[in-house]
Structure formats: structure tokens, C-alpha cells
Structure 1
Amino acid sequence: MSGKTNLSELLKGMTPKLNKGEYVFCTIKDSSLLDRKKVICEFTEAEGITIITTKGYADEQGFTYSFIASWITLTIHSSLEAVGLTAAFSSELTKHNISCNVIAAYYHDHIFVDKKDAAKAIMVLEELSKKQE
């Protein structure tokens, strides 16, 4: 199952879902001791390893972070080959001064926004979706 590629269908059916909790981005040097069940995402860059995890786990481990985020999942199954979805929703969030950090996974797109902007971001995304009807 490869997911949808039609931009209009993707926007119309994206159905944003706010996941419970507070999430943080941390950078670490060694990931061998991580509890993988508590890590949402891990990405290795030349400068270090970035993880996304709950604020609670980061605090337990003494990881530093500077951004507390809310996690929004677009529940439509988007194809990794879809063109324009990220540009469309990020442009709309930009119009409302909402920063977003995006992770495209196999089934869904995941958006991390500042915790204080979560409700507003959901509203903006829902309005964008309704414009497609």
C-alpha cells in the first residue's frame, strides 16, 4: 500500500490529530543506551544524533532541549512520492506565524509545533482541509 499522491485529496482528507503529551528534540552523542520504546524518531547527522522523545523521558535522562512541542499527525496515508503536501500545510501555518518541524514517515506526515500553538495549528490545518471541499 503506497498511499495517496493527489494533493487535493491529501489536503481534503488529512484529518489532523493532536497527540497527547509534550515532545522535545535533543541531540546526543551515543544512542546505545536509549530506551528505543521511548524514542519517537532518531536521525544521525554529522554533528550528532537528534532524537525526538517525550519531555518526561528527556528530563529523566538529563537531556537538554530548548523547544517544547506538540505533535500533530495527519491521519491520511500519504505517499512518500506525493508532491506539495508539506509545502501546502507549512505555507498555511506560516501565514499564521506557526513554526513547524515535519517528519514524513511511511504512512503519515507528522508535524511538531510549539506547544503554545497546538490548538491554533489544528484549527489552521482543519480550515485548509475544508477549503478543498
Structure 2
Amino acid sequence: MIVFDCRRFLRTIRIAATALAALTLGVAGARAQEAEGVWMREDGASKVQFSPCGGGLCGTVVWLKNPNSKAHIGQKVFFDMARADQTSWTGQAFNPEDGKTYSGKIVVNGKKLRTSGCVLGGLICKSMNWVRAN
């Protein structure tokens, strides 16, 4: 004879629901650390779209506040960006202002992104903050 234990059944359902909720939140948290999408510079001067390219990640200018800036729409400013860990990528960063390419890094923290361009093995770096635009 099979006896149905209602309390045990409800406890099993609660555990399964909790596990499912934790898994769902974990996936959403992981997605929040992705760099793909459109990001606006904190000063509002430009927007860059990060998307997959050549096995890595590239960033292309998609909007400029000042159409007379040295950058232009469609210009690749981040390229060969490879994932370094859960929240960062490393590769190359092009600065349209001086026409030079630097070793670059992207770090994502939720809806914020920080880019860095460095020379002399990371001795001198310039960073820029971005916010997710989409």
C-alpha cells in the first residue's frame, strides 16, 4: 500500500521551486555581465556597439553627439577583445583623437562598463566609463 505524505510532497515542491528560482537568477546575473550591446560614454559624447567578431568582441561607433569629432560612425575602436574572465575582456583599443592603438581592457559591472587603453605594459592608462544604452 502506498501512503501519500502531503508534507513531504510540498517540501519537495518548495525545494524544486527554490532551486529553479536560483538557477534563473544565476543565468540573469551572468547575462548582466555581458559586454554585447550598445553603450554610451558617461559624458554622452558617443555610443559604441559591442558585438562578436572574429572569435572575439569588437566595438564600433554607432552614434556621435558631435558629428565633427575625429571619430566617425562605423569606425572600429575596440577589436580582438578576448574574454579574460567572467567580467572582463582584453585586446586592442583605438583612440580616434590621437590616431593610436593601445592595449585595451573592458570590465563590465552590471549596467556599467569601464574601458581602459594602456601603453608601456600598463604603466600609463586612460579609462572611460560607459552606461548601457539598450
Higher helix fraction (1 or 2): 1
Q: Fold match, TM over 0.5?
A: no
| TM-score using structure 2 length | 0.26
The structure in which a higher percent of residues are strand is: 2
